[in-house]
Copies of this chain bind each other. A is one copy, B any other.
């Protein structure tokens, strides 16, 4: 089996850009990745997208001159981009292909031109249990249990927007205060507007190939993927907690890493502030009930001992579903190469990407994809 390296990553501009089609977004991301990799040759392509029309991957890639090679579009909810990365990784690891492009692309501002409503044919849909409501329930539960305070929830947005100051690729960079976050419009109680990832369009890409052994090369230490169990009112933990906890065990085991403390930098799924808090606890970065404090006290900030989302996360980049996972991979790759400028985590050698996928309603199930990258 091959050791797999990330030979290049790229990102398009993120943010609302309804006038730009998937082709324009994909081109920017792929061109960046080819540029870093020093080559535009690939033997196969995996594409992550959720709302892209059928056949869109072939259309986009053919327009870029990538033809005749297998092109496989994968959908795994919000984890679609990370899934494309993991499938591409597996193809290189096993020698199936020699050089693979993983692409994630999504146009959210046109896909959701109307209100986001769940399907109305199932009980969850009829109850309005879309994802903001689901995360709102998690936050309400945490507040009820005294496991977080409103200020700690808001501190996640403040921290991640602070991080975004150093990230020209994050379109939402205005600094925020806890007061501003809490005073913004209510979306799904207790989550206010500035605690929800903004609508954003974008693409991100990575080129994977066998490791060359070059100094400083970023390689893939381990990957894992899971789907969730049924979650309902009898579940012991909030939605999404257990799948992240179990995937963490899997990926550390696969990587032969004894403790989460050995990871230097994290990009995790902060679609909502409570999401980052639950995730840091499920990952074992913070003890149960301590995730909010970790954000508020700076433990998970740049300069803290467990920096989470130095890019600014989904809260600053937005969340073009298929693109998110590969944008996370791109950030960790830049961090491990020491190319992250003023948001650089010092001496980062191991980085973890976590992407959580939720469906439109609870019954759609969920997914979690993780990967650990390493600087040689």
Given A53-B119, A90-B96, A58:B226 Cβ within 8 A: no
A175 interfacial contact with B, CB 8 Å: no
Q: How far is the CA of A58 from the CA of B51 in the complex (A)?
A: 16
**Quick one: which of A58-115 are within 8 Å of B by CB?**
58-59, 61-63, 67-77, 83, 87, 90, 94, 96
Residues of B within 8 A of A71 (CB): 76, 227, 365, 367
Number of chain A interface residues as a range: 35 or more
Pick out which of these stretches binds chain B: A149-157, A204-212, A356-364: A356-364
Would A76 and B73 be within 8 Å (CB), given that A94-B94, A230-B67, A363-B62 are in contact?
Answer: yes
**CB closest residue in chain B, given A359:** B55
Quick check: A225 and B75 within 8 Å, CB to CB? no
Given A68-B226, A225-B70: A365 touches B61 (CB 8 Å cut-off): yes
> A20 interface residue, CB < 8 Å from B?
no
In the complex where A227-B70, A228-B68 touch, is A59 in contact with B94 (Cβ < 8 A)?
A: no
* A77 and B73 alpha carbons, distance in the complex (Å): 9
Q: A53-B360, A67-B365, A69-B226 are in contact. Are A58 and B77 (CB under 8 A)?
A: yes
Instruction: Indicate with 1 or 0, residue by residue over A200-236, a CB within 8 angstroms of chain B CB atoms.
Output: 0000000000000000000000000111111000000
State the Cβ distance, A45 to closest chain B Cβ, in Å.
Answer: 8
Contacts of A225 in B (CB 8 A): 70, 72
User: In the complex the two chains form, is B360's CB within 8 Å of A58's CB?
Assistant: no
- A229 and B54 contact, CB distance less than 8 A: no
Cα-based distance from A74 to B74 in the complex (angstroms) = 4
Most buried by B among A226, A228, A365: A365
Is A56 among interface residues, defined by CB-CB distance under 8 A? yes
- Asked if A364 meets B58 with Cβ closer than 8 Å, knowing A67-B228, A74-B74, A75-B73, the reply is yes
Report whether A359 and B59 are in contact in the complex, using a CB–CB cutoff of 8 Å.
Answer: yes
Which of chain B's residues have a CB closer than 8 A to the CB of A367?
58, 70-71
Q: Does A366 contact B (CB under 8 A)?
A: yes
A50 contacts B by Cβ under 8 Å: yes
Q: Do B69 and A55 have beta carbons less than 8 Å apart?
A: no
- Chain B residues positioned under 8 Å from A246 (CB to CB): 68
Is there contact, CB below 8 Å, between A227 and B58? yes
Alpha-carbon distance between A61 and B229 when the two chains are bound, in angstroms: 11
Complex Cα–Cα for A96 and B1 (A): 11
Q: Are A365 and B55 in contact (CB under 8 A)?
A: yes
Q: Apart from A56-B364, A62-B230, A67-B229, what 10 extra A-B contacts exist at CB < 8 Å?
A: A53-B360, A58-B227, A58-B228, A58-B364, A61-B365, A62-B228, A68-B229, A73-B74, A74-B75, A87-B87
